[in-house]
Amino acid sequence: MQYSSKVMEHLMNPRNVGELENANAVGMVGNAKCGDIMQMFMVIDDNEVIQEVTFKTFGCGAAIATSSMATELVKGQTIKEALALTNTAVMEALDGLPPVKVHCSVLAEEAIRAALADYYTRKGIDPTPIVGEIKPFGEDDDDHHHDIPEEE
């Protein structure tokens, strides 16, 4: 499987790794059955700007690289700007991903949305109209990559 130099750079030197003790937005997505689990931590200020963002990912190299790149792309952004980030934009920022690894970029987008949903929930605001429907962590999704064979 061929990865771009940017994917390799983010895999070997991931940015923003770890847990934020003072996070006011935490989201976890993935499914233990398929092995990819992402957790995002954010500190969002009163102006709804993402001041800090970190991640913890259990998964393949592409999952780590997409998590790292996603944190770089939303750091310093407003919530509205972060919600506009798509998995395609994450892939483009990494100069592409092999087709069997596209799901990793989807997880990165979902992790950001899950953290933002948590932010609104903590404020007593229903997040669904703002961030969309968030699948509970660990819920199996049939459209995931279970039937795609891994390349050697």
Domain residue ranges in the chain: 5-129
Catalytic member of 38, 73, 104, 116: 104
pLDDT tens sequence across 34-70: 678 999 999 999 999 999 999 999 999 999 999 999 9
What class, spelled out in words, does domain 5-129 have in CATH? alpha beta
Percentage of residues of the chain with pLDDT beyond 90 = 79
Q: Is 104 a catalytic residue?
A: yes
What mean pLDDT comes out for the span 105-132?
A: 96
Catalytic member of 4, 15, 31, 34: 34
Q: Is 34 a catalytic residue?
A: yes
- 0.75 exceeded by pTM: yes
**How is residue 60 written in tokens?**
């393949």
3-state helix, strand, coil in the chain (%, to 5): 40, 20, 40
Under 8 Å between Cβ of 69 and 94: yes
